């Protein structure tokens, strides 16, 4: 007896296509690019993507020029991109590319493409590629609307720093300013060819109290520097710190590692004390605790209440800090024994 078993195939799952953005029509493109063509900016149809509602404009070449400090700003290639992801909302992005391959962007979001273009053109390309110690720095910004500062004043646009990047003597130094209000400016140091850097943790911390020692993570180093909380002081302070870091890094890497300790000996000892402050505070509280029983305090005194509630108060204070303190026993600064900054 032969038994035949029929097993029908499982039905294919039903695929529901989510509605995507409606492609830009030819008439929409003509209506949007009017303010751009008036400024001799023409559409690059081959690079544009009508399905993604993105319009690219033909590149512009900015010749090399002299900056505010008399430095030579390299020639820059500019590309404008207008995005219209939703009706009535536009994003304009300017991308500048230097001959070295470094890129810097300037972005703005609003409802009027012509107004967005006016704000972008007010930021000179040379501002996004300053030169420090002969090193070009690619700085990216965002233009944000700000309300009126007071009665009788009009709203305005604020240029805020987003990130920066520079290549110094075989290394890449990147800064991230998008860390939030009141947060420090973060930076990362890498070798260009994925090699391991042999640098001290206090490489930038010797510049001042606002600089934190770096931490080695894999083949790169991460650190931070405290800057102002609010704009425009935050971007101005970040630009100054970035320029100072580039000059310091270029001058340090131009000399052998053996000279670093002798040049910054006192600053390195200051960094060691700075790193030991959380540990010293903890030890001070620990040794001061037994002395509380010798204090004659009234049952309803404010000091008594603060002493008995000090643990939760300290805990809340720690979490309220912009940076969580690191309790460590910092090593004493010693002369560097390496012969090169980058491992071969």
CA–CA separation, 200 vs 334, rounded Å?
10
pLDDT at 209: 92
pLDDT band at 14 (very low <50, low <70, confident <90, very high): low
% of residues, the chain, pLDDT over 90: 46
Residues 56-97: tens digit of each pLDDT: 999 999 888 776 666 677 889 999 999 998 888 899 999 999
Residues 33-63: tens digit of each pLDDT: 889 999 889 999 888 988 888 999 999 998 8
End-to-end CA distance of the chain: 77
Q: Taking the complete model, does pTM exceed 0.85, yes or no?
A: no
Q: 106 Cβ partners below 8 Å, 6+ apart?
A: 93, 94, 96, 120, 123, 128, 140, 141, 142, 143
Residues 314-330: tens digit of each pLDDT: 677 666 666 667 777 88
Alpha-helix runs per DSSP H in the chain:
26-32, 34-37, 113-121, 125-128, 233-253, 258-263, 265-288, 302-308, 310-320
The token duo for 75 is 């020639």
Residues 287-316: tens digit of each pLDDT: 767 766 666 666 666 666 666 666 676 677
The token duo for 79 is 């590309």
pLDDT band at 98 (very low <50, low <70, confident <90, very high): very high
The token duo for 118 is 């006016």
Q: What mean pLDDT comes out for the span 125-146? A: 92
pLDDT at 263: 93
Q: Which parts of the chain are beta strand (E)?
A: 54-56, 60-62, 65-66, 72-73, 76-86, 89-97, 103-110, 131-132, 135-146, 156-168, 171-176, 185-191, 215-217, 220-225
pLDDT at 58: 94
Contact criterion met (CB below 8 Å) for 205 and 215: no
pLDDT at 233: 92
Contact criterion met (CB below 8 Å) for 143 and 106: yes
Residues 162-181: tens digit of each pLDDT: 999 999 988 999 999 987 77
Average model confidence (pLDDT) for the chain?
85
Select from 285, 261, 279 the least CA-distant residue to 330. Answer: 279
% of residues, the chain, pLDDT over 70: 81
Q: Is the dihedral of CA 108, 109, 113, 119 positive or negative?
A: negative
Q: Looking at the predicted structure, is the pLDDT value of residue 186 above 70?
A: yes
């Amino acid at each position: 007896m032969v038994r035949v078993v029929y097993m029908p195939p499982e039905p294919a799952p039903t695929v529901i296509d989510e509605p995507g953005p409606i492609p830009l029509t030819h008439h929409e493109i003509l209506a949007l690019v009017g303010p751009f063509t008036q400024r001799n900016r023409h559409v690059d149809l081959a690079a544009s993507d009508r399905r993604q509602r993105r319009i690219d404009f033909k590149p512009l070449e900015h010749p090399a020029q002299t900056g505010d400090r008399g430095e030579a700003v390299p020639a820059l290639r500019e590309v404008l991109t207008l995005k219209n992801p939703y009706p009535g909302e536009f994003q304009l992005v300017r991308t500048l590319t230097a001959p070295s391959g470094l890129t810097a962007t300037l972005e703005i979001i609003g409802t009027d493409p012509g107004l967005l273009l006016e704000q972008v053109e007010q930021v000179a390309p040379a501002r996004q590629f300053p030169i420090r110690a002969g090193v070009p720095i690619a700085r990216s910004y965002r233009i944000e609307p700000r309300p009126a500062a007071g009665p009788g004043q009009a709203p305005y646009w604020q240029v805020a720093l987003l990130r920066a990047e520079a290549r110094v003597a075989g290394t890449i130094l990147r800064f991230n300013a998008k860390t939030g209000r009141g947060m420090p400016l973060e930076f990362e140091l890498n070798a260009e060819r994925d090699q391991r850097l042999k640098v001290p943790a206090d490489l930038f911390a010797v510049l001042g109290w606002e600089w934190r020692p770096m931490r080695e993570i894999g083949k790169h180093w991460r650190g931070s520097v405290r800057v102002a909380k609010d704009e425009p002081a935050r971007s101005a302070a970040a630009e100054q710190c970035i320029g100072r870091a580039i000059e310091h890094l270029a001058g340090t890497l131009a000399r052998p590692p053996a000279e670093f300790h002798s040049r910054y000996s006192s600053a390195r000892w200051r960094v060691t004390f700075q790193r030991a402050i959380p540990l010293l505070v903890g030890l001070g509280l620990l040794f001061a605790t037994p002395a509380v029983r010798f204090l004659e305090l009234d049952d309803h005194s404010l000091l008594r209440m603060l002493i008995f509630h000090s643990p939760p108060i300290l805990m809340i204070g720690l979490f309220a800090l912009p940076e969580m303190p690191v309790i460590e026993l910092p090593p004493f600064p010693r002369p560097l024994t390496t012969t090169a900054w980058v491992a071969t």
